[in-house]
């Protein structure tokens, strides 16, 4: 009888163990599937000033689209492998900083003194930490230096010589002034100086040079780049990088390195990067305002972004655009002008790139 009871207990114990194992297996599988199925994606912009359709040749348009696709692919590769949204934003922006097509990094515009001063910032929506650099010279990829400010210092913003000194300490890649020279940007400055165009003003007369824009399609004033991302862990990040407005005074700092003006990320709401005349975004605190409307007014991402860009920004004489993504993977890309270099890629891996209102 004792043997029978022992045998019964062993069978019962084995059964319970098996049930626990099966339960644990499917529980782990569910968690893995849940993580795998979480939405993720990245959105970018290359500035709100675009070349007119009549000026945009097929070859030039393809060059823009190709660079945007390459930048998106760089960020997506990180997200797909489970990497962080911060790393994806940095990689995406670096790809655009390395292109002479945009006003950031290599393609930065010139100050009225003929120098290149670079601004950038990045923010982690999970930790609410941020970093930025302003009026930095010789830094090949300002967005990388901004990330180092965020992660390796107790500060949020370093400027001018302080930023350069920190870059040297961190072993960040530096380049001579020649690296940042592009003929189109140099001619644009010279033309403004010759015609005494006020800061932020339009070029009025056309010249025989198809590399230079005309009148309302004065895209050399713009070209700021930015990216926002949502990773598989549900964390948001945002970043922005620029050479600043052409013909700015040396030492001028715009919105791109200012957290809450151009760059903002909060896991509870959204991640935002903006483009346009920085002085207006700094007054409005555009990116933070979009997040605030979601947090305090209960607006959707689309409602908040459209209100801030299409209404509030315009009402104070500003313009430009924004890209944003929320914790559910919803994206928006509103802008006020003829177009905005922009694109996105989501969990499905499909790349979408646009320039004009399509």
Residue 197 DSSP one-character state:
P
The residues that bridge with 271 in the sheet, in sequence order, are 265, 325
Closest CA to 45 of 180, 189, 184, 242: 242
Helix 160-170, helix 142-152: angle, nearest 10: 80
Q: CA angle 331-156-222, nearest 5°?
A: 50
Q: CB neighbours of 37 closer than 8 A, spacing ≥ 6?
A: none
**Catalytic pick among 67, 224, 242, 275:** 224
Helix (H) or strand (E) holding 129: strand 129-136
Q: Please give the structure tokens belonging to residue 257.
A: 């390195």
Q: Please say whether the beta carbons of 41 and 345 come within 8 A.
A: yes
The residues that bridge with 351 in the sheet, in sequence order, are 345
If you count them, how many residues does the chain have? 358
Query: In angstroms, rounded to a whole number, what is the distance separating the alpha carbons of residues 345 and 353?
Result: 9
224 is catalytic: yes
Query: In angstroms, rounded to a whole number, what is the distance separating the alpha carbons of residues 80 and 259?
Result: 27
3-state helix, strand, coil in the chain (%, to 5): 45, 20, 35
Torsion on CA atoms 139, 156, 260, 102, rounded to nearest 10: 10
- Residues annotated as part of the active site: 224
């Amino acid at each position: 009888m004792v043997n029978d009871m022992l045998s019964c207990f062993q069978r019962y114990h084995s059964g319970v163990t098996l049930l626990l194992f099966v339960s644990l297996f499917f529980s782990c599988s569910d968690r893995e599937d849940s993580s795998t199925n979480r939405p993720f994606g990245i959105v970018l912009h290359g500035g709100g000033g675009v070349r007119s359709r009549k000026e945009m040749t097929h070859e030039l348009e393809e060059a823009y689209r190709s660079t945007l696709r390459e930048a998106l692919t760089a960020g997506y590769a990180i997200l797909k492998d489970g990497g962080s949204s911060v790393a994806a934003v940095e990689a995406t922006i670096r790809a655009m900083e390395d292109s002479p097509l945009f006003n950031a990094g290599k393609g930065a515009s010139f100050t009225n003194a003929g120098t290149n001063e670079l601004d950038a910032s990045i923010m982690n929506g999970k930790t609410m930490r941020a970093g930025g650099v302003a009026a930095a010279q010789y830094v090949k990829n300002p967005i990388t230096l901004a990330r180092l400010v965020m992660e390796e210092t107790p500060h949020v913003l370093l400027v001018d010589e302080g930023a350069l000194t920190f870059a040297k300490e961190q072993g960040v890649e530096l380049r001579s002034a020649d690296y940042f020279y592009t003929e189109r940007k140099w001619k644009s400055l010279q033309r403004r100086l010759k015609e005494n165009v006020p800061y932020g003003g339009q070029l009025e007369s056309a010249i025989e040079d198809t590399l230079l824009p005309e009148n309302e399609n004065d895209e050399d004033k713009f070209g700021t780049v930015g990216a926002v991302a949502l990773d598989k862990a549900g964390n948001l990040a945002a970043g922005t990088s620029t050479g600043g407005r052409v013909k700015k005074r040396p030492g001028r700092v715009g919105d791109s390195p200012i957290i809450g003006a151009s760059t903002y990320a909060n896991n509870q709401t959204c991640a935002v990067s903006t483009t346009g005349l920085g002085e207006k975004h700094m007054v409005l605190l555009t990116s933070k305002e979009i997040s605030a409307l979601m947090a305090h007014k209960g607006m959707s991402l689309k409602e908040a972004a459209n209100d801030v860009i299409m209404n509030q920004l315009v009402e104070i004489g500003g313009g430009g655009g924004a890209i944003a993504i929320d914790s559910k993977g919803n994206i928006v890309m509103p802008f006020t002008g003829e177009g905005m270099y922009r694109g996105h890629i989501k969990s499905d891996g499909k790349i979408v790139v646009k320039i004009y209102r399509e």
